[in-house]
Amino acid sequence: MVDLARVQKELQECNRDVEVSGIRVSPKADSLTNLVGTIPGPLGTPYEGGTFKIDITLPDGYPFEPPKMRFATKVWHPNISSQSGAICLDILKDQWSPALTLKTALLSVQALLSAPEPDDPQDAVVAQQYIREQNTFVNTARYWTEAFAKTSSLGVEEKVQKLVEMGFPEDIVRSTLEAVGGDENLALEKLCSA
């Protein structure tokens, strides 16, 4: 059973200093076991200026077991799967400690963005690029940040307009946007696959 009292307190404490840390955690729905965290891209990295969403699922054993975290925003990073968003980070696996919190874990993820570990890659392609063609890597990562991590700052109407301009019917665009929680890119993916 998840320690809901602890989760609630964590959410309170984390959201208390959002201005300082920039890290936000909020429940996805009514249940406190599915959360969404957002972290700003670290300054001085290709991820600067982006806001990255992370899906958090709390296992029953939390906080004695690590939370399951996955990037919902697409990221170009050696330790993050460019396909699934899976994160390769020790504290989310065997190095988890119950003394860590969602906020500290997200901070660690943020630190991972600024300090890639190509020797222990999650995405081999990205890692290869990071090692062999540093410039290409930086450019790609910056492009992905621009493309996927910055749109969330747009208002709903702007997103709708943008998608309508692409040739989708407005009502479908609106319902799709709502269904994916306002994420423009997810909506686009869905619209394209529909």
Partner 1 sequence: MHSDSIATNASNMPMASSNAKDFAKKKRMNRSAKLKQWKLDARREQWLSQVGIDTVKNKGRKEESTGRGIDGPLTQVGRRVRAMEKLEIRSRGEEENDGGSIHHDSDSKSPLNSPMSHTGSVLGGNDSGTNFTGSSSSSRSSSSSSSGGCCSGSMSEEDEDGEDGCLDDWEAVADALAATDEKQQLHANSLDTASEDKNVARFDSQPVSSIDISKAKPGAGASVDRTSVNCRAWRPDDAFRPQSLPNLSKQYSFPMNSDRHYACGASVWVCKNAASTPKPCPICYEDLDFTDSSFLPCSCGFRLCLFCHKRILEEDGRCPGCRKQYNYDPVEGEATLDGGSLIYRLTRSCSMITRS
Is 192 a known active-site residue?
A: no
Q: Which of 20, 43, 99, 115 binds partner 1 (CB under 8 A)?
A: 99
Q: Which is nearer to partner 1, 64 or 143 (CB)?
A: 64
Which of 9, 16, 93, 132 contacts partner 1 by CB under 8 A?
9
- Active-site residue, from 32, 54, 88, 127: 88
Q: How long, in residues, is the chain?
A: 194
Decide: 152 and 53 in contact? Cβ < 8 Å: yes
Find the binding residues for partner 1 in span 134-193 (CB under 8 A). Answer: none
| 6 sits near partner 1 (criterion: CB under 8 A) | yes
Q: Which of 46, 50, 63, 121 binds partner 1 (CB under 8 A)?
A: 63
Which span (4-12, 21-29, 117-125, 176-184) binds partner 1, by CB under 8 A? 4-12
Cis-peptide into 27, omega within 30 deg = no
Amino acid identity of residue 69, one-letter, is: M
Give min distance, CB of 59 to partner 1, in A: 13
Binding site for partner 1 (CB under 8 A): 3, 5-6, 9, 63-64, 95, 97-99
Residues tagged active-site: 88
